[in-house]
Amino acid sequence: MDKTTALAGIGALAHPIRLDAFRALVVAGEQGLTPGALVDMLGVAYAKLGFHLKDLNEAGLVTSEQVGRNVVYRAVYPQMNALLAYLTENCCQGAPCAVAPGSLPASPPTSSRCGC
């Protein structure tokens, strides 16, 4: 991932509604959620949610698919993981990480040595 793509992802998540919507889609998994379900979960207006889903889609963090009469939104896990990897790329000051890539600790490290 390059800096421009990372900034697009960070920017897309830098709003309470977009962050809540993205987190809900991550929890929903591959089945995804319709905008109506997200409106009910998040308590936001449908038109406002559509604007925010568009931003998440443009950043590559969600996809949309027409399923019958509904549109289903899904989180794009590879893009999410690439953003996390970009943000933690140099977390250990060049030393090998103590934790395998793709796994996150339950709590923050307790020493200055990387525990990511």
- What is the tens place of the pLDDT at every residue in 22-58? 999 999 999 999 999 999 999 999 999 999 999 999 9
3-state DSSP assignment of residue 70: strand
Which pLDDT does position 92 carry in this prediction? 74
Residue 90: the pLDDT is 75
Task: Calculate ∠ Cα 110-84-60, nearest 5°.
Answer: 160
- Comparison of pLDDT for 20 and 96, the residue scoring more: 20
Sign of the alpha-carbon torsion through 14, 74, 54, 81? positive
Radius of gyration of the chain (CA): 16
State the Cα–Cα distance between residues 95 and 75, nearest whole angstrom.
31
Total-model pTM: 0.81
What does the alpha-carbon distance between residue 34 and residue 25 come to, in Å, rounded to a whole number? Answer: 10
